[in-house]
Structure 1
């Protein structure tokens, strides 16, 4: 089993792909050309050093959404961990042995234009969980069969200076319950309970926190996302940048609402497709 790390996070834009892409470009992200999955969905990526952010939905306004993403509102709904080469089937078996309801590994692809102008396929294999296994969102593992078609140098430079994912904050009713689920998935040593009642999953270069709803509301205030019917949900994405002041200037030039406090540049969910974003050094 490889190093525990986040592979990517997913922001659902539903049938407003063009609008979502324009919003994230204004936030200072360079996006990949739109891709179309063999599963029937469309996406744009903001590719970082070892992880990325995915805008996911359909490119057809008013179009039908993929069944597994259709129940979710706009916003941050997907937390994806890296599955390493050849690991997917063994991972599925291990999860099930630990009482985690993993679904069978699924393969899919999307066409991609290669640097030389020819066409190739970005290929993936994922192991997803039943929705009852985690928060009210999508948690799964992704094995990249063709990582060279995702992490391309020309896609990894962003005007806002983003380098990678630093933090994911979940707003939950019971952090201990979420901690117990994480222990079954990742092992007891990967999870700690803090004195303030937050459960923390430590992954390479980042942390996934599960905090009570009241604590998240107090931390985020008016910048918080709309739960839109979700119970336990992803509330905030923290991104590491080269320079917070430069990121702030980038957003100011684009006239994006943001607030700086204690070295954190925060973009409220209402201006970022129902996704609260922190830029940190």
Structure 2
């Protein structure tokens, strides 16, 4: 299905950059993700009270398990208008300490994105600029500087989207961190749920900067430059993921991440060796969410 509106002026289909996974504690996330066969980077503290321990993938996407390190700092930052922290605290209040709260896309101009989101009534808050230190592989310290532009839909309080501009990128040599025992090389698809997916078509089109949408009986798909963003209805969640529960609430919710692996048999053997419960459906391995892993993980070649 194609949208009849004019093409987005000057648009470039966005690359999926990373996914935010709230966790109760980084230690729990590290233990769970390591058992799932991921290499987890060291803990890193944000200047507004949150901390992460990321999983970097060879396709240059990554997972961001996010914990609250200093609640007082988070609450103070939220009061000062920090949308990232405010939405994280709100998500934890509504959904608990483990989950999947945000989709992040790369950009070269967060200021322009912010203006576009405002023009379409989709702004999720003021632009956020911050910097943080990181140790290089040689032990020296580098400073990364970031600029974020937020988009949100008031009908979907449990999902935040934003674009991330790396004003001063952190060191790019992450080869060792991008190699994983489970064979994962990248993210193929991100799955959201909503009883009537096309109600959120225009919101996601603006976030991804892409008009083309494929609607089907299970929901809809919108292509980012490097992955598909899918919104599934109840039948889609059941048919694709085996989630046999009614979608009683309205609003977009981030539910699952589909990873690409090089050898599905090797991935399955690793999961079995680490006593990770999983279900095989067709040629995919499905691992349900657990503490430290706030989304359903799907592995496929």
TM-score (norm 1): 0.87
Q: In structure 2, which of residues 37, 57, 62 is the aligned counterpart of residue 52 of structure 1?
A: 62
Q: In structure 2, which of residues 247, 251, 263 is the aligned counterpart of residue 243 of structure 1?
A: 263
Deviation at 1:112, TM superposition (A): 0.8
Hey, what does 2:45 align to over in structure 1?
36
Q: 2-side partners of 1:121 and 1:229: how far apart?
A: 42
The DSSP-based 3-state class of the residue aligned with 2:90 is coil
Q: 1-side partners of 2:175 and 2:244: how far apart?
A: 33
Hey, what does 2:273 align to over in structure 1?
253
Choose 97-106 or 4-13, whichever is displaced more.
97-106
Does structure 2 conserve the Cα–Cα contact (< 8 Å) formed by 1:268 and 1:276?
A: yes
From the superposition, tell whether residues 120 and 272 of structure 1 become closer, same or farther in structure 2 (CA, over 3 Å).
closer
- Greater RCO (Cα-Cα under 8 Å, separation 6 or more): 2
Deviation at 1:187, TM superposition (A): 4.9
Name the structure where strand makes up a greater proportion of residues: 1
Q: 2-side partners of 1:227 and 1:78: how far apart?
A: 20
Is 2:90 the partner of 1:71? yes
Q: 2-side partners of 1:230 and 1:22: how far apart?
A: 33
Does structure 2 conserve the Cα–Cα contact (< 8 Å) formed by 1:223 and 1:267?
A: no
From the superposition, tell whether residues 160 and 230 of structure 1 become closer, same or farther in structure 2 (CA, over 3 Å).
farther
Q: 2-side partners of 1:108 and 1:56: how far apart?
A: 16
From the superposition, tell whether residues 222 and 200 of structure 1 become closer, same or farther in structure 2 (CA, over 3 Å).
closer
Is 2:194 the partner of 1:172? yes
Q: 2-side partners of 1:56 and 1:271: how far apart?
A: 13
Q: In structure 2, which of residues 280, 286, 289 is the aligned counterpart of residue 269 of structure 1?
A: 289
From the superposition, tell whether residues 229 and 214 of structure 1 become closer, same or farther in structure 2 (CA, over 3 Å).
same
The DSSP-based 3-state class of the residue aligned with 1:132 is coil
Q: 1-side partners of 2:32 and 2:290: how far apart?
A: 11
Q: Moved runs in structure 1, 4+ residues, more than 6 A?
A: 60-65, 226-230
From the superposition, tell whether residues 228 and 98 of structure 1 become closer, same or farther in structure 2 (CA, over 3 Å).
closer
Q: In structure 2, which of residues 228, 231, 237 is the aligned counterpart of residue 207 of structure 1?
A: 228
RMSD of the TM alignment (CA)? Answer: 2.8
Is 2:109 the partner of 1:90? no
The DSSP-based 3-state class of the residue aligned with 2:204 is helix
Choose 132-141 or 54-63, whichever is displaced more.
54-63
Q: In structure 2, which of residues 11, 19, 23 is the aligned counterpart of residue 9 of structure 1?
A: 19
The DSSP-based 3-state class of the residue aligned with 1:95 is helix
Q: 1-side partners of 2:119 and 2:239: how far apart?
A: 38
Deviation at 1:61, TM superposition (A): 10
Is 2:214 the partner of 1:192? yes
TM-score (norm 2): 0.82
Q: How many residues align?
A: 276
